[in-house]
Structure 1
Amino acid sequence: MYQNIGLVLCFVVFLCIFSVFSVTVSEHHHVHCTHEHPKADEVIRGVHIEPAHIVKKRSIDQPLRISIFYDHSVYRLEPEKFDMINNTILPEAVKFWEQALKVRKTGGPIKLNRKCPTRQVFVRDGRTHCIDQCNAETMCGEVKVPEEHLNLCYVCNSTGHNCRSLPRNVRIEEEVPTEIDGNSINEGTEVPQVADPEVDYSGVEDTDFVLYVSAVETERCRRGQTVAYASHCQQESALDRPVAGHANFCPGELSTNNRDLPSVLSTVKHEMLHALGFSVSLFAFYRDENGEPLTERRPDTGNPPMDEELQIHKWSDRVVKNITRKNWMIRGGYMERTFHMVVTPRVVQEVRDHFNCSELEGAELEDQGGDGTALTHWEKRIFENEAMTGTHTQNSVFSRITFALMEDTGWYRANYEHATPLDWGKGLGCKFSMVSCKQWLNSQSVTNGTTEKERKNPAPFCERIKGNPLRTECSPRRNAVVLCNLVRHDTILPRAYQHFDTLPNVAPGEEAHYGGSVSLADYCPYLQEFTWRHKSVLVRGSRCSYEENTPKSDVNFALENYGAHSKCFDHSDRVWEQKSCRQIREWQHWGSGCYKYKCESGRLHIVVGNYSYTCYHASQVLQIRIIKKGWLHKGGVVCPPCREVCKEEFASRNEYCKGGEEPLPPNLYRNDILTCSAVTLTSPAFLVTAILNLIFSLQK
């Protein structure tokens, strides 16, 4: 008897362990970009390469050439981190922009200017002259520019007379940046310890942009989750194009996990683009197709006017314009909001085409996040996973809109074949791109002929509160399992970011606490990828294409299968169940899952547990009853329209999805039966009650 009681108690313990085991779900880290645009006195302008009248005549047909130089701090990184940067991240990022952008050919070597002690300079024969002397060191970010990359020191006296070049008399440090040629270190020739005063070094040849790279744990790194940051430091004199910049990696935040590589690579591409032209400190220097400035220049300095508050050069409304929306819908009414929009020609055309809205004035810039984010990124609410928004949340892409901005600088031509389609808001019209997310959510209520309102899918926004149990959904292109990031905030949100008049199961007056978890998206709630964690340890992600995201077999209740040819499919309204001859498990976290699929014979086929299920019509529920390792898995997978998944694949083979609905053939799908010999399956609730009664009776 006691032996049997022991078996029963073991079963109870197993049930209890199973019930308390939990995997928490967290959204992807919101890593904010901390690009601090350089102030006017931090950028050296007037790098003389060729006269402007010669440069303007050239076609923009030279593939961009980027030369990389490492500061010695890079070599002090841990070997795994150095290998990742040197062999993967930087080569791929450089290759991407070299293939994506073209420039006017640089007609000679780049010889960078020396830093002057004061902001006052004189320009003589196209060259910048300091007053009396140049600084002993010229920095580009955290890196000291090598002597051999610098031009001679040109000076005039305080009245602008007696202009001349000074001999080189600066001692060269032993530790100088090392040129990187491909993936190998180019040691070059031995560098003399003291510069020859008569030597005029050749500068950096065969390049269009010089990037100095460091890996220093700076104060900016310590502000939280900053992987890298970059900016330009010098501009050439003919058309103001940036010709030198710096990038600093933050050693403490660098992850070498394969799962994180796409995010790190996207971050580095993003930061490099800040240095190449996407920066609020460069807007005032943009030019038209003929090389003429889009912002009027001051006759005394040749520069755009100065914004003393921001300490940057002020742009004209031909580049960025303030646009006011007078009836911006919020909780309880309307308000007036003003936005900064890029209104250059190609950007305007691209955003209008993308959203299918001919009235859209331009591309909205971020208005939150402070100096490191505002005005120098796309608005998160309207361009969510575009890589040049101010925070990385999921699946970043460099879209045609960003490529168009680089063309509108007047410095580049973009190869749009390297742009990635942006799904967010695609084709949703002016009612999405010119209104608040509250107004968009409200517009998805349609009257169905009665007093009740029927809800349409409000994607990409959402209105299901993230809670426990979790109810997952599929991303619009079915690339990932996603959650609505609508949460309760501890404080009342600012009035402009209150989006709900009512919410299910939320007390009246509490709605002002609810919004999306991403502040830069104006707290608009939207569908977002997430990660599963157990005791703060990352278990897996939710993107379907990553095979490593497949759940372990003991917790793969819905028989998911992630990998290269997987997509997300919705589950039916019935909770998935696992049953053995001794236990029943009902999984409360459900709603969608990733599965392999096939497009064959005019039909979509979804593979569950290595069995292929044919979809005969949209919304068909595939009833799953499969035994795996002694467990019967019961649930349902909902078929989407065939065209939604298979249209492109069929088109590539001159095939098509069969139309209409067909009756399902009898006995079509696998229907496993759990056979238990001499064991009676007892429901957990009844079993626990019976055991507690038994224990109580034994204690008497």
Structure 2
Amino acid sequence: MQSVRPRAKHACHSFLSLLTFSLAASRCIHDAVQREINVLHLHPFSPPAEQRFTHRAPRALSESQTLPIRIRTWYPPAETVQLNPQQKGSLEAALREVTQTIAGVLAVNHVPGRLLLTRDINKYCRSVWRNPIAENYNRCGYLNPNYHSETCLEVTIPDDHLAGFSIWLESGSVPREVVKHDGAGVPDADFLLYAKVANTEKCNQEPSVIAYASYCQLDPTGRPVAGAIMFCYARLASNTLDHQDLVQVSLHEVFHALGFSRGLFNKWKDCSHAPSVGVNCSSRARITNTDEMGQVRIFTSTIIQKMGEHLGAQERGLGAPLENKDAVAPGLPSSHWEARVLQGSLMLATLGPVHLTQLDDITLAAFADMGWYQVNTSTGKRLVWGQGEGHTFGLTTTCKNSTSGFFCTGNGSGCHYLHLDKGMCSSDDFLDGCRMYKPLTVGSECWKAENAVNAEHGYGEIYHKSSRCFFSTLIQENASAVTVTGRCYRHRCTAENTYQVQVEGSAWLDCPAGGSIQVPGYQGLLSCPNRGLCHDFQDRGTSGLGESVLEDNPGSAIKDGMSGQKVFIFQIHFQGPPFDRTHWLQITTGLTEALANSSAIPRCHFQQPTLTPSLLFTVELWVSEECPERQAGMLRHKLDQTFHKPWVYRDKSYTPVGTRFVEDPDPTSPERHLVTVLLCAVTSILLLVSTAVGAFVYHHHKAAGQRVGDASRIPL
């Protein structure tokens, strides 16, 4: 049967779509920016003499339990290009979400008291006492009359955030003149983020840059405590970026400022034998090396472990490869992952569409190996790209003849590897000649129902939130055959890597992973991707599309229409016999009450609990003016600290096998978030039997003084 060439209209549409994607991608210039920054270090145990003179306690790290990092954002009004109220509100909302997200991911030893940044003696002082036997060795002898202020990436740091400085004689315990007293400092802060909007030279040189960031001051252990993010005004004023675009690029840049930066690789600490993260940790040997293929990689313990798990090559001791196309010189490390190997990661040199980018467990492994942070590993999502493909995956010598389904050859149309979008086989500056199906951004998202207007008649396409892209030659009977291309059809998961598909006018059909099927009323074949769909079915317990949630959803546990903002979703997955459907509402409400009590989180934060037939309990966490806790990071921390025990319902035992934090899995949701979270370690978290039960006992019997933790059964 003869194949026909796609119509010219289609080819033109694909070209424009690909062009749109290329222009929409945001390129990161962190390494070039950071090279120009003069980085200062805070003084821990030997404070400057002016501090001793004012009897300030030496600055030191707390050895207490790590807590969610407190990032304080400061906007310099006099220096920032004026945005209209809507643009300003959008930017501030995005940065709030970023700081809340990071607080749920990273914990640190809190800075005691107020965070006070240091001044550069080489700027404010014209002459320093350099006689090593002098009493005031390395103190300022003469003031630089041209000194005005300290900056962080072109942002002027307020005096209130800075330590003071003095002029000293060569000897003597009292300064000759206190030029500036200490500022008040910033309370409740572990990291100061200066945010500015401007039309800078760097913005004008690289139109694809949305923002760039750097760190500018480090604590005694090398951890960044101050940094800045610069937003390019023209990109913000263009109104082409939505909330999640701003969140994604800001999260990427702030991660650079927090430590994911080549300039800090030599400061990462080994805390494997330390009493606590960030306390008495040892310096690491060189963490990067070049492999036999000339690829620079990071070799630290957690990264090696996660790379082995990801590629299915634990025995190889693989490090994580760094991008070789944006390094400042050949053989030097980059501050981004290699796109050929870790596609889809948040920390690539070029960011793709939000729904195809994720905070991955390889990136979190890097933060865990820095030695400054306790990392909530449940917030990292395992990459799909290259999963289980072995140690040669992504090499330039193997990608052009790969049969894995991740790379492609030629320039035809097909499906992006996540199957959410149609794609065109193409390459870019960072793929080193390798090719992949890059998403087309003009009407090619299968999960957007509004894209149905672009569907051509006769191919059976369905655009729906549960639709995915399939390689297909399907066309209605009695029509000319077509070449293989990407088409949008509905799908629903029935088990791990097991699913059904629906074409326009057809019933639901089993689609064997790795095989192909014929569809009644159509000629041609529909290919069923292997491992491309329903690969995390056991983690989620549903298809993520609402297909398997019970119809008798009890709705909100508190009140519908609550004002505020949903910050994340919390899930508990059980193993055990099926629940009695007639008692679903009672069970779901009781679990919500139990969770609120056991975590000490006020009930008003919990919204929309659901329970699926696969025994996945899901509830939304909200912050609002009506609830006392305003920090999403603290809500995550409390849920993380909750110890859950097995429980019994109607003489049947139900064992929780894991919990996770997750953003809305439906990519069409207006509140979708960048960060989606995997299943946490089974050994660390279980569900309190007692909690759920006690809530019902109290509700039905009003037994005064009875504690939730003492109950063991749910009365019905």
Q: TM-score, normalised by structure 1?
A: 0.63
For residues 389-436 of structure 1, the C-alpha deviation after alignment (integer angstroms, 9 at most, x for no partner) is 211235222211111111221110111121122112212122326xx2
Note the C-alpha offset of 1:248: 0.6
Note the C-alpha offset of 1:156: 4.5
| Aligned residue in 2 for 1:164 | 175
The amino acid across from 2:436 in the alignment is: Y
Q: Which range moves more in the overlay, 201-210 or 72-81?
A: 72-81
CA distance in 2, matches of 1:405, 1:279: 11
| Aligned residue in 2 for 1:324 | 291
Note the C-alpha offset of 1:590: 5.9
For residues 502-541 of structure 1, the C-alpha deviation after alignment (integer angstroms, 9 at most, x for no partner) is xxxxxxxxxxxxxxx2222222212322223xxxxxxx2x
CA contact (8 A) 2:42 2:117 kept: no
CA distance in 2, matches of 1:601, 1:429: 25
Is it true that 1:471 corresponds to 2:463 in the alignment?
Answer: no
Sort the Cα spacing of 1:567 and 1:241 in 2 relative to 1 into closer, same or farther, 3 A.
same
Q: Which range moves more in the overlay, 390-399 or 145-154?
A: 390-399
Is it true that 1:63 corresponds to 2:68 in the alignment?
Answer: yes
CA distance in 2, matches of 1:552, 1:319: 55
| Aligned residue in 2 for 1:614 | 509
CA contact (8 A) 1:615 1:639 kept: no
| Aligned residue in 2 for 1:34 | 29
Is it true that 1:132 corresponds to 2:142 in the alignment?
Answer: yes
Is it true that 1:342 corresponds to 2:298 in the alignment?
Answer: yes
The amino acid across from 1:389 in the alignment is: L
CA distance in 2, matches of 1:121, 1:399: 47
| Aligned residue in 2 for 1:309 | none
The amino acid across from 1:26 in the alignment is: L
For residues 574-610 of structure 1, the C-alpha deviation after alignment (integer angstroms, 9 at most, x for no partner) is 5x4699xxxx8x7978612222223469984323336
| Aligned residue in 2 for 1:483 | 424
Sort the Cα spacing of 1:639 and 1:322 in 2 relative to 1 into closer, same or farther, 3 A.
closer
Pairing of 1:243-322 with structure 2 (within 5 A): 243-254=225-236, 261-289=243-271, 290=274, 291=279, 295=283, 318-322=285-289
| Aligned residue in 2 for 1:500 | none
Pairing of 1:135-150 with structure 2 (within 5 A): 135-150=147-162
| Aligned residue in 2 for 1:84 | 90
For residues 285-339 of structure 1, the C-alpha deviation after alignment (integer angstroms, 9 at most, x for no partner) is 22221345655xxxxxxxxxxxxxxxxxxxx7x24332331xxxxxxxxxxx433
Larger Rg: 1
| Aligned residue in 2 for 1:668 | none
Is it true that 1:437 corresponds to 2:396 in the alignment?
Answer: yes
Select 2:210's aligned residue among 221, 227, 242.
227
CA contact (8 A) 1:227 1:253 kept: yes
CA contact (8 A) 1:84 1:256 kept: no
Sort the Cα spacing of 1:133 and 1:367 in 2 relative to 1 into closer, same or farther, 3 A.
farther
Pairing of 1:228-627 with structure 2 (within 5 A): 228-236=211-219, 238-254=220-236, 261-289=243-271, 290=274, 291=279, 295=283, 318-325=285-292, 337-357=293-313, 358-371=315-328, 375-394=334-353, 395-432=356-393, 436-439=395-398, 441-442=400-401, 444=402, 457-463=403-409, 465-466=410-411, 470-475=412-417, 477-485=418-426, 517-532=427-442, 540=443, 542-548=444-450, 550-552=451-453, 555=456, 558-572=459-473, 576=475, 591-599=485-493, 604-609=499-504, 611-615=506-510, 617=512, 619-623=515-519, 625=521
Q: Which range moves more in the overlay, 63-72 or 119-128?
A: 119-128
Corresponding residue SS for 1:93? helix
Is it true that 1:152 corresponds to 2:164 in the alignment?
Answer: yes
Note the C-alpha offset of 1:227: 0.2
The amino acid across from 2:246 in the alignment is: V
Sort the Cα spacing of 1:121 and 1:274 in 2 relative to 1 into closer, same or farther, 3 A.
farther
| Aligned residue in 1 for 2:526 | 637
The amino acid across from 1:137 in the alignment is: S
CA distance in 2, matches of 1:128, 1:604: 70
CA distance in 2, matches of 1:127, 1:22: 70
CA contact (8 A) 2:462 2:488 kept: yes
**5+ residue gaps in structure 1?**
1-15, 170-198, 296-315, 326-336, 445-456, 486-516, 533-539, 626-632, 656-700
Note the C-alpha offset of 1:17: 11
Corresponding residue SS for 1:164? coil
| Aligned residue in 2 for 1:447 | none
Select 1:109's aligned residue among 110, 114, 137.
114
CA contact (8 A) 1:37 1:279 kept: no
The amino acid across from 1:143 in the alignment is: V
Sort the Cα spacing of 1:99 and 1:204 in 2 relative to 1 into closer, same or farther, 3 A.
same
Sort the Cα spacing of 1:223 and 1:122 in 2 relative to 1 into closer, same or farther, 3 A.
farther
| Aligned residue in 1 for 2:100 | 95
Note the C-alpha offset of 1:39: 4.0
Note the C-alpha offset of 1:34: 0.6
For residues 215-263 of structure 1, the C-alpha deviation after alignment (integer angstroms, 9 at most, x for no partner) is 0111111122100001111112x31221111001001123776875434
CA distance in 2, matches of 1:439, 1:78: 51
Note the C-alpha offset of 1:164: 3.4
The amino acid across from 1:64 in the alignment is: I
The amino acid across from 2:501 in the alignment is: I
CA distance in 2, matches of 1:231, 1:460: 34
Note the C-alpha offset of 1:554: 6.6
The amino acid across from 1:142 in the alignment is: E
State the number of aligned residues: 502
Note the C-alpha offset of 1:168: 4.9
CA contact (8 A) 1:37 1:231 kept: yes
Sort the Cα spacing of 1:376 and 1:292 in 2 relative to 1 into closer, same or farther, 3 A.
farther
The amino acid across from 2:404 in the alignment is: P
Note the C-alpha offset of 1:342: 1.4
CA distance in 1, matches of 2:155, 2:36: 19
The amino acid across from 1:77 in the alignment is: L
Sort the Cα spacing of 1:127 and 1:144 in 2 relative to 1 into closer, same or farther, 3 A.
farther
Cα RMSD of the aligned pairs, angstroms, is: 4.0
Sort the Cα spacing of 1:125 and 1:95 in 2 relative to 1 into closer, same or farther, 3 A.
farther
| Aligned residue in 2 for 1:12 | none
Sort the Cα spacing of 1:128 and 1:112 in 2 relative to 1 into closer, same or farther, 3 A.
farther
CA contact (8 A) 2:307 2:320 kept: yes
Corresponding residue SS for 2:337? coil
| Aligned residue in 2 for 1:506 | none
Sort the Cα spacing of 1:202 and 1:49 in 2 relative to 1 into closer, same or farther, 3 A.
farther
CA distance in 1, matches of 2:158, 2:297: 39
Note the C-alpha offset of 1:381: 1.9
CA distance in 2, matches of 1:545, 1:127: 67
CA distance in 1, matches of 2:308, 2:528: 33
CA distance in 1, matches of 2:334, 2:306: 19
